[in-house]
Amino acid sequence: MQNAFGEPQTILLLGGTSDIGRAIVGKLVSPTCRNVVLACRTPSAAEPAIAALRRDGMTVTSIAFDASAPLTHAEFVADVVAQVGDIDVVIVAFGVLGDQATFDHDPVAASEAVTINYVGAVSVGLAVAEQFRKQGHGQLVVLSSVAGERVRKSNFVYGSSKAGLDGFAQGLGDSLEGTGAKVLVVRPGFVHSAMTAGLAAAPLSTTPDAVAEATVKALRSGRRTVWVPGALRYMFIVLRHLPGAVFRRLPLG
């Protein structure tokens, strides 16, 4: 359970190789933290992160997790609890960007991406929420994206999966009201990370560290949503309500 200063003792990162996820964990770790679990498809891929996060008195481990296998998620959460006890913070940071041109001609690839980005997050998110209800506490951080606020033609499969994820996370947070558990939805813009390497940066682009700093600040203040950078919130107030004919002509891709 978190201490009086809101510092978690146990953190679970779903997407153990995510640049943003690891940055958030790095800023959440304090001297009172006892366990960090990095979950990813190939646990050995998290070894560099384990070495970077390791502290005296704190155990950092990696565990196998397949976002595309929803049937395994309830058992996965139970296994983590059996290993480390109650979980204070869970970060949903897994996902794939994919390529819209590929998706246009490969519906199977598109469905696989949506399964990871949305279906997998719904499945494991509900399993985590059930554990939080049993505990009577817990914070779930869901990495959404501004791509889901107004889906663009250049990445509409990815954007639609983030739109679904964002709506799910908001509803899940509402359903947990009064249980002691909370959900924080994080909506970053373009983030310079391994996922976006080689892509042209969008306006108001940001970094994993900036997203992490804003996320931790939002967690500690009890917020339910956070935009990174904050100016994107006001930009999308306008973009969200533009007529389609106007939106499609904007140089947004």
Identify the pLDDT of residue 231.
Answer: 86
- Candidate list 132, 158, 190, 227, residue with the active-site label: 158
SS3 at position 57: coil
Which CATH number fits the domain that encloses residue 123? Answer: 3.40.50.720
Taking the C-alpha atoms of residue 46 and residue 6, their distance in angstroms, rounded to an integer, is 26
Please check whether residue 252 lies inside any domain of the structure: no
What's the CA gap between 174 and 5, in Å, rounded?
A: 24
Residue 61's nearest CA partner among 29, 81, 41, 35 is: 35
Q: Is 166 a member of any domain?
A: yes
Tell how far CA 207 is from the center of its chain: 15
Are 122 and 42 contacting, i.e. CB atoms less than 8 angstroms apart?
no
Residue 97: which domain range? Answer: 10-247
Cross-strand pairs, 183: 140
Number of domains in the chain: 1
Q: Is the residue at 5 inside a domain?
A: no
Q: Is residue 4 part of a domain?
A: no
What is the pLDDT, as a whole number, of residue 173?
98
Residue 144 three-state SS: coil
Instruction: Let me know if residue 222 belongs to a domain.
Output: yes
> Residue 4: its pLDDT value, please?
45
pLDDT, residue 5, reads 56
In a domain, 3, yes or no: no
CB-based contact 88:9 (threshold 8 Å): yes
CB burial of residue 241 (10 Å; 0-12, 13-18, 19+) = exposed
Q: What is the Cα–Cα distance from 47 to 241, expressed in whole angstroms?
A: 45
234 catalytic? Reply is no
Any domain includes 253? no
Residue 198 lies in a domain: yes
Mean pLDDT of residues grouped by 10 in the chain (253 residues)? 70 96 95 95 94 91 97 98 97 96 97 97 98 97 93 92 98 97 94 74 82 96 94 81 74 62
